[in-house]
Amino acid sequence: MKKIAILGSTGSIGTQTVDILPSINAEVVALTTNKRIKLLEEQARLLRPKMVCAYDEQAARALAIALADTDIQVLSGMDGLVACAAASGADIVVTAVVGMIGLLPTLAAIEAGLDIALANKETLVCAGELVMRAARERGVRILPVDSEHSAIFQCMQAAGCNRADKLLLTASGGPFFGKSAAEMRSVTREQALAHPNWSMGAKITIDSATMMNKGLELIEAMWLYDMAPEDIEIVVHRESIVHSAVEFADGSVIAQLGLPDMRLPIQYALTYPQRLPCKTPRMHLTEIAKLTFYAPDEAAFPALMLARRAAAQKGDRGAVLNGANEAAVGLFLQDKIAFGEIAERVAKALDGISYQKNATLDDLLAADKAARALAMA
Ligand code: NDP
Ligand code: MG
24-50 tens-digit pLDDT = 999 999 999 999 999 999 999 999 999
Which strand (E) or helix (H) includes residue 237? none
Give the mean pLDDT of 159-170.
96
pLDDT of residue 232 exceeding 90, the answer is yes
Neighbouring residues of 261: CB distance < 8 A, sequence distance ≥ 6: 280, 281
Per-residue model confidence (pLDDT) at position 198: 84
Per-residue model confidence (pLDDT) at position 90: 98
Per-residue model confidence (pLDDT) at position 314: 98
pLDDT of residue 3 exceeding 90, the answer is yes
pLDDT of residue 218 exceeding 90, the answer is yes
Nearest CA to ligand 1 atom 15: 34
Other residues' Cβ atoms within 10 Å of the Cβ of residue 137: 10
- How far is it, in rounded angstroms, from Cα 121 to Cα 69? 36
Question: How much of the chain exceeds pLDDT 70, in percent?
Answer: 100
Indicate the pLDDT class of residue 293, thresholds 50, 70 and 90: very high
Other residues' Cβ atoms within 10 Å of the Cβ of residue 372: 21
- Which numbered atom of ligand 1 lies nearest the CA of 198? 40
How do strand 253-257 and strand 232-236 relate by DSSP bridges?
A: unpaired
- How far is it, in rounded angstroms, from Cα 87 to Cα 77? 15
Contact 118, 145 (CB under 8 A): yes
Contact 72, 39 (CB under 8 A): no
Per-residue model confidence (pLDDT) at position 227: 98
pLDDT of residue 91 exceeding 90, the answer is yes
The full length of the chain comes to 377
Site to probe by mutation for ligand 1, drawn from 12, 35, 57 as the one with most ligand atoms within 8 Å of Cβ, is 12
The sheet with strand 26-33 has its strands ordered as 73-76, 51-54, 26-33, 2-7, 92-95, 115-118, 142-144
pLDDT of residue 279 exceeding 90, the answer is no
Indicate the pLDDT class of residue 196, thresholds 50, 70 and 90: confident
Contact 28, 21 (CB under 8 A): yes
Residue range 107-157, pLDDT digits in tens: 999 999 999 999 999 999 999 999 999 999 999 999 999 999 999 999 999
Nearest CA to ligand 1 atom 7: 97
How far, in Å, from the CA of 148 to the mean position of ligand 2? 5
Site to probe by mutation for ligand 1, drawn from 40, 53, 97, 146 as the one with most ligand atoms within 8 Å of Cβ, is 97
Residue range 294-332, pLDDT digits in tens: 999 999 999 999 999 999 999 999 999 999 999 999 999
Give the mean pLDDT of 264-292.
96
**Is the CB–ligand 1 distance for residue 122 below 6 Å?**
yes
How far, in Å, from the CA of 97 to the mean position of ligand 1? 4
Other residues' Cβ atoms within 10 Å of the Cβ of residue 58: 11
* CA 366 from centre of chain: 21
In one-letter notation, the amino acid at residue 160 is G
The structure's pTM equals 0.98
- Phi, psi at residue 18, to the nearest 5°? -60, -40
Q: Any idea which ligand is nearest the CA of 76?
A: 1
- How far is it, in rounded angstroms, from Cα 26 to Cα 21? 7
CA 335 vs CA 34, 213, 268: distances in Å:
22, 20, 38
Give the mean pLDDT of 155-161.
94
